Amino acid sequence: MAWAVPQHTKGQVDRAGRTLVTTKVPLPDLLDAYSVINNWRSSHSFPLNTFQVTLRNRARQIDGDALIAQRIKRLSSIEAKLVRFPKMNLSQMQDIGGCRSVVSNVAMVRAVVDLHRKSDVKHKLLRVDDYLTMPQPSGYRGVHLIYRYFSDRSETYNGLQIEIQIRSVLQHAWATAVETVGTFLKQALKSSQGHSDWLRFFTVMGSVLAARERTSLVANTPTDRPALLTELRKWVRLLDVERRLQAYGDALRTLEDPSASTAHYFLLSLDPKADTTTIHGFARGELEYATKQYLELERSLDATTGAEAVLVSVESIAALKRAYPNYFLDTRAFLNAVQRALA
């Protein structure tokens, strides 16, 4: 295949990034910005593939069952990040190209990291973000390696940055659950935006998993285990976490069912009092009807019991599937971890 190559200066890329997040931009200018950004994104494919192959070989040395995935950052994700960090230049965004390894445990995470750090590759390791030693306030844990690509045979891709993420199965289950709940609630929980109760639940659960893996706890969570589990129980009860995760998992499996192939929108109804979860599918041309059913269902539900309705499109699930190609939204692993902690 012919790999894309950078066709624009970093200055042009940065201007395109600023145009992307500027309101009321003339359409021709916006289309030009899209063209520049798409070339910039695509140009990371060759160096990303190089790092992915290396990661695959090293991770499989440590864990024969290691999961490996790679992705080019979506345009919507680039835009959201530039909005969150207005001083950031697009040309310096470190995770336009990213690959990930999921291994069985923390010891294996450390071993894969060590193989990378001790290697004699010419690519420059710019930074190691160790979120096991110092978890993010959100509860996210793992290790990120940020490299600058270098080749002495061809300078075409020199200077492009690639991010490698290395996680344990439990750390990945946490991240997957955050993405899943965020998608169904239509909130950017992954970016620490949205419902404060859900954000706190995931922070606390991050500490619970850290304690289980014997790594550093998340800041501003109880350091005493009984107190930590007491807070976890509170959020699990208030948010009806177990039922919701089970319902979201059922919906995702319904999406994967060939019998649901004609549906484009899915309406979920969760009713804790009646102990029921229902899922209805609607075709692409039935959005107006699906929205009407959604509004009527919302009005009919008794919110005091924790009942809720959610309308989700196939596009939002497809975006999640692209983010987790080798580990598609299996909420069961995270739900099992929650139940084990509560037990």
CATH number at residue 74: 3.30.460.10
Is residue 25 domain-shared with residue 102, that is, in the same domain?
no
Is residue 29 domain-shared with residue 51, that is, in the same domain?
no
Q: Is 332 contained in some domain? A: no
Q: Is 199 contained in some domain? A: no
Cα distance between residue 112 and residue 116, in whole Å: 7
pLDDT digits (tens, 9 = 90+) for 182-237: 877 878 888 888 899 999 999 999 999 999 999 999 999 999 999 999 999 999 99
Q: Is 122 contained in some domain? A: yes
Q: Is 30 contained in some domain? A: yes
How much is the average pLDDT of 172-184? 86
Closest C-alpha to 143, from 111, 186, 176: 111
Beta-bridge mates of residue 161: 148
277 phi and psi, to 5 degrees? Answer: -135, 125
Q: What single-letter amino acid sits at 328?
A: F
- Three-state DSSP state, 10: helix
Is residue 56 domain-shared with residue 125, that is, in the same domain?
yes
pLDDT digits (tens, 9 = 90+) for 76-110: 789 989 999 999 999 999 999 999 998 999 999 99
3-state DSSP: the chain helix, strand, coil percent, rounded to 5? 55, 15, 30
| pLDDT at 330 > cutoff 70 | no
Taking the mean position of all CA atoms in its chain, how far away is CA 65? 21
- Three-state DSSP state, 68: strand
Q: Is 232 contained in some domain? A: no
Is residue 29 domain-shared with residue 66, that is, in the same domain?
no
Query: Of 169, 197, 215, which closes a domain?
Result: 169
Q: Is residue 293 left, alpha or beta, with left meaning phi > 0 and alpha meaning psi from -120 to 50?
A: alpha
Neighbours of 192 (CB within 10 A): 16
Q: Which domain holds residue 35?
A: 8-42
Q: What is the dihedral of CA 176, 178, 179, 182, to 10 degrees?
A: 160
How much is the average pLDDT of 160-171? 95
Q: Is 334 contained in some domain? A: no
Is residue 67 domain-shared with residue 148, that is, in the same domain?
yes
Q: Is 51 contained in some domain? A: yes
Predicted confidence band at 46 (pLDDT cuts at 50, 70, 90)? Answer: very high
Is residue 50 domain-shared with residue 160, that is, in the same domain?
yes
Is residue 86 domain-shared with residue 98, that is, in the same domain?
yes
Q: Is 187 contained in some domain? A: no
- Three-state DSSP state, 139: coil
Query: Of 152, 169, 186, which closes a domain?
Result: 169
Is residue 75 domain-shared with residue 152, that is, in the same domain?
yes
- Supply the pLDDT for residue 32: 94
Is residue 142 domain-shared with residue 33, that is, in the same domain?
no
Question: The sheet that has 124-130: what strands, in order across it?
Answer: 67-72, 97-103, 161-168, 143-148, 124-130
Is residue 145 domain-shared with residue 56, that is, in the same domain?
yes
Is residue 112 domain-shared with residue 28, that is, in the same domain?
no
Is residue 51 domain-shared with residue 133, that is, in the same domain?
yes
Number of domains into which the chain is organized: 2
Predicted confidence band at 296 (pLDDT cuts at 50, 70, 90)? Answer: confident
Cα distance between residue 74 and residue 328, in whole Å: 17
Please say whether the beta carbons of 72 and 44 come within 8 A.
yes
Query: Of 132, 151, 169, which closes a domain?
Result: 169
341 phi and psi, to 5 degrees? Answer: -65, -40
